[in-house]
Every structure is written in C-alpha cells, then in structure tokens.
C-alpha cells in the first residue's frame, strides 16, 4: 500500500479559511498543515463542524460567499493552487484532483444521463471524441461494478439506487485518471453492506490507478480500514497527525484518546464508554487557550491561557497539546490494554 | 427466567401503494411481515437491520401509532391490539418511544417544561403545582440544569434535545422504552454520553428497552439480546454473545463482517454482498435474502424458511443454518 519512496503530492500549509458572517468571523479552518504522499490515503477525521469539508473545498477552491481562504498554501505537484487563475483551476478539477461527496447528486446532474456526464469530462480534459468517450464511459461503469453498463450509461441518476449512484460518481471521479481523490464522507449515508461494497471498490481502484486519497469521515472504523496516515481535527485545527497504527494504539492527544475510548466497537467488550464530557464549542465562541480545554481531563491553567502548537513528538507523529507526557503515561502499554 | 413484558405475535403491517386519480390500491409495501418476538422485563433487546427493513414500522405498530394489519401485541399480559383508542392511550403511558430526531418530536412553540409536564398532566399523575418541581428533577436527572425548563427546544443543542426527549419519556414512569435510532444522528462524543445515560437510567429505574439501531457496534454495546430484520422479517434472534460470536444466518454473518472496526490490526474475512436490498413492495419469492445469499440453493428461491429455535433462545430463518457458511 504505502509508496516506497515517499514523494509528496500535496502540501497544505497554514491553511486558513474564514466565513465572514453577520454574527462574526467563523474561523472554520484556522492554520491547517498536512501532506499527502503519492499513492497513500490520508484520513481526515473529526466530529461535525470541525472543518473537514471546508478544508476540502478550500483545496478545490470551491468555496462560496461568505467563505474565503485568507491564508496559507496548497501546493499540488509543485504549484500553489491558491494562486492559480480560475481557468487554471478548472483544468485541474475533475482531472488531476477529483472529488467524491456524501450525496452523489452534488456532482451528478439530474437532467443528463450518466454516460453523458462522464463523457463530458473525458471530452474536455482528454479531448476524446463522442464515440471514444462513450466507450470509455461504459468501461468505467463496468470497472466500478455497475451491472449491464451498456444500458446504464443511457440512464439518469434517479434511475439508480443510492449505492449505484455512488458507484457512478466514483466512475466519473476516476474517469480522467486523477492523481488525487478527495472523498468527503462517501459512505456515511449508505447502509452498512453497501458501505462495505463501496469501501472495497475504492481500495481496489486506488491500487489500480495508484492514486492518492484524502478520506474525510467522522467514522474511525472507516479510517482504520482505508487510511495509511491520519489527521485528527478539532475546532478548525489539526490536533494529532500520525501513521494509522500510532493513532489507534498510542494516541497522544486527549481528544483522540477520548474518541477512541468513548466509541462502542465490535472488537473489544467495553464495560462502560468513557464519554468525553461537554460538547464541541461554537466557532463564534471558542474558548481561550487550547480549544479542547473545557472538555479535557488533563487540562491545567496553562491550557486555559495559551493555545499549544502542533509539535513533533516522534518522527511522523505530531500532537497539539501541552501535556503529552501525561497522556503518554496512560497509553504506554497501548490504548486498549486492560479494557 | 424473567417474564416477557412484551410479546409480539405474527405482527403484520402492509401499506397500500396507490396510483392514479382514483387512488386505486395497486399493491402493498410489506413493511412488517409476520414478525414474532418477546421482550423480557428489564432487558434490552436490540433490533438491527438496514434502512427500510421495517424497524420503525415494527415499533409504531406495537404502539398502535400505526394500526397493525394483522397480529397480536401483548403488553404486560394484555392483548393491546383489541383495545379501544381511549384505553390504548392509557396503556401507552407504560410504553414510551424516543425518536432519532429530537427536533421534529418536540413542539417548537412549547417551553421544555410544558413538553415534559404534558404527559404527567394528561395522565393525572401530578397536579399543576407539583408538576414543575418534578420536571426540574427529571431535567437534572438527564443532565440538564433545572432552570433551563423555561427555554424552548431551539435553545438546546442536539444532544440536549435528545436528553429532553428522554426526560419526557421518563416522566411517565414507563415499563418499556422504545429507542428508535435515538443516538444515530448524534456526533461521536455526544452519542456516548447519551448511551451512558440510557444505561444508567435503566439500572436505576429497571425499565426495558427495545433498542432500534442500524449501527451494530452500538447494538452490541447496549443489548442483552439481538434480533436482525431483513425486508420485513426477523431472520435471526439470539443472545448478544451468540449473535456476534456465532451467527448462523448468512445475512447476519455478512452484516457483522461489513462493519468497519476502529482497529487497523483487526483483520477478518469480509463477506461482501452483491446488489442492493430489495424493496418490501416486491420482495423476492422464497427466502427474501436469496438473490444476495452466498449459500443459496434451489429451494431458497421457492420455499420461505420459517424462524425456528435451533438452540435454546437462538432463532434462525434459513434452510441451511447448520451448514456453517461464509468462509468454509
Ligand atoms: N457557509 C457557511 N457560513 C458560515 N459558517 C460556515 C459555512 N460553512 C461552514 N461553516 C462553518 O465552518 C465550520 C466547519 O464546517 P465543515 O467544514 O462543514 O465541518 P465538517 O465537514 O467537519 O463537519 C462549522 O463550524 C460550520 O458551521
Ligand atoms: N406510512 C408509510 N406508507 C408507505 N410505506 C411506508 C410507510 N412507512 C414506512 N413505509 C415503508 O415501509 C418499509 C419499512 O420502513 P421502516 O419501518 O421505516 O424501516 P426502517 O425503520 O427499518 O428503516 C420501507 O420500505 C418504507 O418505505
Ligand atoms: S493542551 Fe491542555 S486542554 Fe488541550 S488537550 Fe492538552 S492537556 Fe488538554
Ligand atoms: S434460506 Fe437459503 S437463501 Fe435464505 S439465507 Fe438460508 S441459504 Fe441463504
Ligand atoms: Mg462535512
Ligand atoms: Mg427507521
């Protein structure tokens, strides 16, 4: 799975996207840094409102008013996307970087056939003629496991089931052989057996196309299954960033730790869920200091005063917390030992 | 052995499919199709299945918020399917339901104190003076400060609104509470708070839960026994441990294997089912699972398997339940 020599495909640095609303400035994404290497899957995980979708839309430059990226860089294959012209972006979107949404109808147009929509992208980006594009569309639908693709290309999105629509959207996303795929909660709305189908399909396609993926989800199970590395977001910032094994077995941020010990799971019998108290803060009234401090059992006066930076605790493991040492003490034998 | 507080017998609910200007009935959605199970006093029975399999309709017909097409529901020893509307309303005090969406189930124009007091006043449990004192106690019990009672639902967060819904159900001192996807819409951290609250309340008040959810991890955590539905039918029912460690129905096996587990080292063979869940308006003949079943034989498309007790307390509806499927 992991690319051998780690070549950087995308570098997000200091990304800040704010919404200038009547009630004040919502700092939805407030200094986010991460990298995506060629061929890998980076999981972006966090509860709703933490800024996952806004991060994705900022990378794609698809923000609507009153949202604006006010700082940072998004370097894709050596170029800062934030400095590109809209025309230049259009050449990249749907070709080099493709996006998959939770709701397929976000990217599928209800009034055109599936085949027409996939063909359009192929004609624009790969300069195919009608016949080539249609043939390629059939081939793509077949690849994503849609039965009788010759017939399905002529159908409209509403004629497909939820799972099949999701497959059609994936076919469209893969059509121009993107190097980066951004999937925003692609399986959240699906039933569990259909979710399993889509996850298996995505894993197979990533292998085949050797594409990188940013998998956005709130589901730690999905992350464990598909990601190589993980960034955990809380209140517009990344609070922990590491490889998948470290995150699940030796998390060092109290929020990550709390998430993992609070969820019911199939692999271990939990006596009691160690629920994180309180709730995610309203972005217009973020607490002073560490944004997690009102919910954190490790919090001290320092946490209530000063926001911690994201620092390297080990090679490839970054944590935004003043008291990593105390958390480390609790997880030194692995997170689930003794439950 | 605890006694059953709720006995569901051959419960059927069909919804008519109407077409044309004359609204002629052209078919039936067989949402719940001959469902039988018991719920024991003090236990939590988990009811799991993918969307559209009939979980909500099962709960609503038990409460007669939807009239059953056929079948019997015996609550606390009484057949409630025959009760007149007024008597049913009294009976419903003992059977409460908490819905997924606290937004739509709480009247936005009412203060929270009146939402919670309403049932207690209707059932003459307390008089006007004492009722708000009780509301305050109930709110505190579910983790909301008593002085929030004068607020309106929109002033609460999603998790708090679900707590209000729980307080409203608690107020009537029910024997059984049906939780219909009560934690499904909540964010991870809030969801565990509410699950803990539901468990604590059960320990304290000893009521029974029929806990409906599509999330198997939640079901595993909260249930004593688990029933799984597929296209309007229960296909397997067993003690939680047996259900998860040794499921016999191919659908249960596939369902459990499909759940993503938050542990990168947890490697298990996944059974990926082909195709989509069929519509209950047009269920497959024979075993409803046969078009997707990896164990299906000729007989499966012809003869519908009965739900039978194959071991004490373990019910399965499959012709080949004893032919360990999936990986062998
Ligand atoms: N159009 C908008 N106007 C104002 N605030 C917004 C808008 N879109 C998103 N936000 C805010 O930005 C924050 C991050 O949102 P989002 O990225 O959608 O979260 P996630 O995808 O992690 O659930 C939230 O607090 C949300 O309320
Ligand atoms: N009032 C209704 N009229 C017609 N069909 C209905 C009605 N309520 C539910 N159904 C159908 O009955 C089936 C079972 O629905 P439901 O009980 O809500 O399933 P679940 O709760 O398991 O998702 C679905 O196919 C649904 O569309
Ligand atoms: S900085 Fe303090 S409040 Fe924030 S996560 Fe660390 S210990 Fe908790
Ligand atoms: S009866 Fe046949 S089709 Fe149905 S679950 Fe059993 S083996 Fe599969
Ligand atoms: Mg989102
Ligand atoms: Mg339902």
Distance, CA A323 to ligand 3 centroid (Å)? 6
Q: Minimum-distance ligand to the CA of A55? A: 1
Chain-centroid distance of CA A214 in Å reads 4
pLDDT confidence band for A6 (50 / 70 / 90): confident
Residues A182 and A274 in one domain: no
Q: With an 8 Å Cβ cutoff, are B50 and A197 in contact?
A: no
Q: What's the confidence (pLDDT) of residue B1?
A: 60
pLDDT tens-digit map of A251-309: 999 999 999 999 999 998 888 999 999 999 999 999 999 999 999 999 999 999 999 99
Residues A277 and A208 in one domain: no
Q: With an 8 Å Cβ cutoff, are B217 and A264 in contact?
A: yes
Minimal CA–CA distance to A292: which of A319, A317, A321?
A: A321
Q: What's the confidence (pLDDT) of residue B326?
A: 44
And the tokens for B85? 């509307």
Distance, CA A275 to ligand 3 centroid (Å)? 16
Among the residue ranges A97-111, A113-127, A236-250, the one predicted with the least confidence is: A97-111
| Percent of chain A scoring above 70 in pLDDT | 97
Please indicate, yes or no, if residue A240 is contained in any of the structural domains.
Answer: no
pLDDT confidence band for B147 (50 / 70 / 90): very high
**Which chain A residues in 113-152 lie under 8 Å from chain B, judged by CB atoms?**
none
What is the sign of the dihedral through the CA atoms of B76, B79, B80 and B83?
negative
Mean pLDDT of all residues in chain A?
94
Final residue before a domain boundary, out of A175, A205, A233: A233
Number of structural domains (chain A) is 2
Q: Is the ipTM of this complex over 0.90?
A: yes
A190 and chain B in contact, CB less than 8 A: no
CB of B182 closer than 8 Å to CB of B164: no
Kindly report the protein residue whose alpha carbon is nearest to atom 7 of ligand 2.
Answer: B15
Beta bridge partners of B72: B9
Say which residues have a Cβ less than 8 Å from residue B82's Cβ, sequence separation at least 6.
none
For residue A66, is the peptide bond before it cis, meaning its omega torsion is within 30 degrees of 0? Answer: yes
Q: In whole angstroms, give the CA distance from residue A150 to residue B180.
A: 41
Q: Is B29 in the pocket of ligand 2 (CB under 6 A)?
A: yes
Distance, CA B251 to ligand 4 centroid (Å)? 8
Buried b (16+ CB within 10 A) or exposed e, A181-190: bbbbbbbeeb
Residues A208 and A257 in one domain: no
Residues A213 and A323 in one domain: no
Please indicate, yes or no, if residue A246 is contained in any of the structural domains.
Answer: no
Q: In whole angstroms, give the CA distance from residue B235 to residue B35.
A: 10
Q: Phi and psi for B180 in degrees, rounded to 5? A: -95, 100
Final residue before a domain boundary, out of A203, A233, A263: A233
Compare CB distances from B262 to A197, A224, A279 and report the shortest one's residue: A224
Q: Is the pLDDT of residue A316 over 90?
A: yes
Q: In whole angstroms, give the CA distance from residue A275 to residue A83.
A: 43
Please indicate, yes or no, if residue A245 is contained in any of the structural domains.
Answer: no
**Which chain A residues in 250-269 lie under 8 Å from chain B, judged by CB atoms?**
258-260, 262-267
Q: What's the confidence (pLDDT) of residue B2?
A: 82
Q: Which residue has the tokens 């599928």?
A: A108
Residues A227 and A141 in one domain: yes
Residues A188 and A322 in one domain: no
| Percent of chain B scoring above 70 in pLDDT | 98
Gap from A127 CA to chain B (nearest CA, Å): 34
B282 and chain A in contact, CB less than 8 A: no
Contacts of A245 in chain B (CB under 8 A): 264-265
pTM of the entire predicted model: 0.95
Please indicate, yes or no, if residue A177 is contained in any of the structural domains.
Answer: yes
pLDDT tens-digit map of B171-200: 999 999 999 999 999 999 999 999 999 999
pLDDT tens-digit map of B282-303: 999 999 999 999 999 999 999 9
Q: Phi and psi for B80 in degrees, rounded to 5? A: -90, -5
Compare CB distances from B260 to A161, A191, A219 and report the shortest one's residue: A219
Q: What's the confidence (pLDDT) of residue B104?
A: 77
Final residue before a domain boundary, out of A205, A233, A261: A233
Gap from B270 CA to chain A (nearest CA, Å): 8
Residues A144 and A198 in one domain: yes
Q: What's the confidence (pLDDT) of residue A336?
A: 65
First-to-last alpha carbon distance for chain A, in angstroms, is 31
Tell me chain A's radius of gyration from C-alpha atoms.
Answer: 21
Say which residues have a Cβ less than 8 Å from residue A246's Cβ, sequence separation at least 6.
A314, A316, A317
CATH of the domain at A41: 3.40.50.300
Instruction: Specify whether the backbone of B23 is left (phi greater than 0), alpha (psi in -120 to 50) or beta.
Output: left
Mean pLDDT of B221-235: 98
Compare CB distances from A192 to B190, B195, B258 and report the shortest one's residue: B258
Q: In whole angstroms, give the CA distance from residue A160 to residue A48.
A: 28
Mean pLDDT of A112-139: 96
B186 and chain A in contact, CB less than 8 A: no
CA diameter of chain A: 68
Mean pLDDT of A46-53: 96
Kindly report the protein residue whose alpha carbon is nearest to atom 1 of ligand 4.
Answer: B318
Q: Is the pLDDT of residue A15 over 70?
A: yes
**Residue of chain B nearest A244, judged by CA positions:** B264
Q: Is the pLDDT of residue A4 over 70?
A: no
Q: With an 8 Å Cβ cutoff, are B222 and A264 in contact?
A: yes
Q: Which atom of ligand 2 approaches the CA of B32 most closely?
A: 14
Beta bridge partners of B291: none
A279 and chain B in contact, CB less than 8 A: yes
Q: In whole angstroms, give the CA distance from residue A95 to residue A128.
A: 14
A199 and chain B in contact, CB less than 8 A: yes
Question: What is the DSSP code string of B163-203?
Answer: HHHHHHHHHT--SEEEEESTTTTS-HHHHHHHHHHHHHHHH
pLDDT tens-digit map of B233-266: 999 999 999 999 999 999 999 999 999 999 999 8
pLDDT tens-digit map of A226-258: 999 999 999 999 999 999 999 999 999 999 999
Give the residue with greater pLDDT, B268 vs B17. Answer: B17
Substitution target from B159, B262, B282 for chain A, most A beta carbons within 10 A: B262
Compare CB distances from A218 to B188, B272, B273 and report the shortest one's residue: B188
Mean pLDDT of B98-120: 89
B281 and chain A in contact, CB less than 8 A: no
Please indicate, yes or no, if residue A178 is contained in any of the structural domains.
Answer: yes
Residues A225 and A323 in one domain: no
Q: Minimum-distance ligand to the CA of B187? A: 1
Q: In whole angstroms, give the CA distance from residue B102 to residue B258.
A: 29
Q: What range does the domain containing A294 cover?
A: 251-335
pLDDT confidence band for A122 (50 / 70 / 90): very high
Q: What's the confidence (pLDDT) of residue A5?
A: 67
Q: Is the pLDDT of residue A56 over 70?
A: yes
Q: Is the pLDDT of residue A192 over 70?
A: yes
Please indicate, yes or no, if residue A225 is contained in any of the structural domains.
Answer: yes
């Amino acid at each position: 799975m992991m690319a051998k020599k780690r070549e950087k495909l995308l570098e997000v640095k200091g990304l800040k996207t704010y919404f200038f609303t009547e009630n004040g400035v919502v700092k939805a994404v407030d200094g986010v840094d991460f990298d995506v290497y060629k061929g890998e899957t980076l999981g972006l995980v966090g509860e709703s409102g933490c800024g996952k979708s806004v991060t994705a839309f900022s990378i794609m430059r698809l923000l609507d008013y009153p949202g604006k990226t006010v700082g940072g860089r998004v370097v894709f294959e050596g170029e800062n996307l934030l400095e590109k012209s809209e025309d230049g972006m259009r050449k990249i979107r749907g070709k080099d970087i493709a996006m998959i949404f939770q709701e397929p109808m976000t990217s599928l147009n209800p009034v055109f056939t599936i085949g027409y929509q996939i063909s359009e992208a192929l004609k624009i980006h790969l300069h195919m003629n009608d016949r080539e594009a249609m043939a390629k569309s059939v081939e793509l639908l077949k690849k994503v496991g849609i039965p009788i693709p010759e017939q399905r290309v002529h159908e409209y999105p509403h004629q497909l089931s939820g799972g099949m629509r999701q497959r059609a959207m994936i076919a469209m996303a893969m059509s121009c052989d993107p190097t980066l795929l951004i999937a925003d909660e692609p399986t959240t709305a699906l039933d569990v057996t259909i979710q399993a189908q889509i996850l298996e399909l995505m894993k197979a396609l990533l292998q085949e196309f050797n594409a990188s993926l940013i998998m956005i989800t709130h589901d730690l199970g999905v992350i464990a299954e598909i990601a190589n590395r993980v960034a955990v977001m809380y209140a517009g910032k990344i609070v922990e960033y590491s490889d998948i094994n470290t995150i699940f077995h030796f998390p060092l941020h109290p929020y990550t730790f709390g998430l993992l010990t609070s969820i019911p799971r199939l692999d271990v019998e939990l006596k009691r869920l160690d629920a994180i108290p309180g709730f995610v803060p309203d972005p217009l009234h973020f607490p002073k200091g560490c944004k997690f401090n009102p919910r954190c059992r490790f919090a001290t006066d320092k946490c209530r005063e000063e926001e911690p930076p994201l620092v390297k605790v080990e090679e490839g493991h970054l944590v935004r917390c003043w008291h990593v040492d105390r958390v480390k003490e609790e997880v030194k034998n692995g997170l689930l030992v003794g439950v | 052995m605890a006694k059953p507080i709720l006995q569901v017998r051959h419960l059927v609910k069909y919804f008519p499919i109407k077409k044309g200007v004359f609204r002629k009935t052209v078919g039936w959605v067989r949402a719940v199709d001959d469902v039988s199970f018991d719920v024991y006093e003090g236990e939590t029975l988990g009811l799991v299945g993918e969307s559209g399999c009939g979980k909500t309709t099962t709960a609503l017909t038990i409460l007669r918020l939807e009239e059953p097409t056929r079948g019997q529901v015996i609550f606390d020893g009484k057949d409630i399917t025959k009760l007149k509307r007024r008597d049913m309303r009294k009976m419903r005090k003992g059977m409460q339901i908490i819905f997924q969406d606290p937004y739509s189930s709480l009247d936005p124009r009412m203060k929270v104190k009146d939402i919670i007091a309403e049932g207690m006043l209707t059932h003459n449990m307390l008089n006007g003076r004492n009722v708000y004192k009780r509301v305050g106690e109930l709110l505190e019990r579910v983790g909301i400060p008593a002085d929030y009672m004068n607020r309106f639902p929109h002033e609460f967060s999603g998790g708090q609104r679900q707590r209000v819904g729980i307080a409203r159900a608690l107020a009537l001192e029910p024997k059984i509470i049906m939780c219909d996807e009560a934690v499904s819409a909540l964010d991870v951290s809030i969801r565990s708070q509410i699950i803990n609250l539901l468990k604590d309340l059960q320990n304290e008040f000893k009521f029974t839960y029929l806990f409906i959810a599509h999330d198997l991890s939640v079901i595993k955590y909260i249930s004593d026994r688990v029933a799984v539905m597929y296209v309007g039918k229960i296909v397997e029912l067993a003690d939680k441990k047996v259900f998860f460690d040794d499921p016999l129905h191919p659908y249960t096996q596939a369902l459990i294997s499909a759940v993503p587990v938050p542990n990168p080292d947890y490697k298990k063979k996944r059974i990926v089912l082909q195709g989509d869940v069929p519509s209950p308006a047009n269920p497959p003949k024979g075993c409803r699972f046969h078009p997707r079943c990896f164990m299906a034989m000729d007989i499966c498309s012809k003869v519908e398997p009965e739900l039978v007790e194959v071991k004490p307390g373990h019910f399965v509806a499959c012709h080949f339940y004893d032919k360990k499927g999936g990986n062998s």
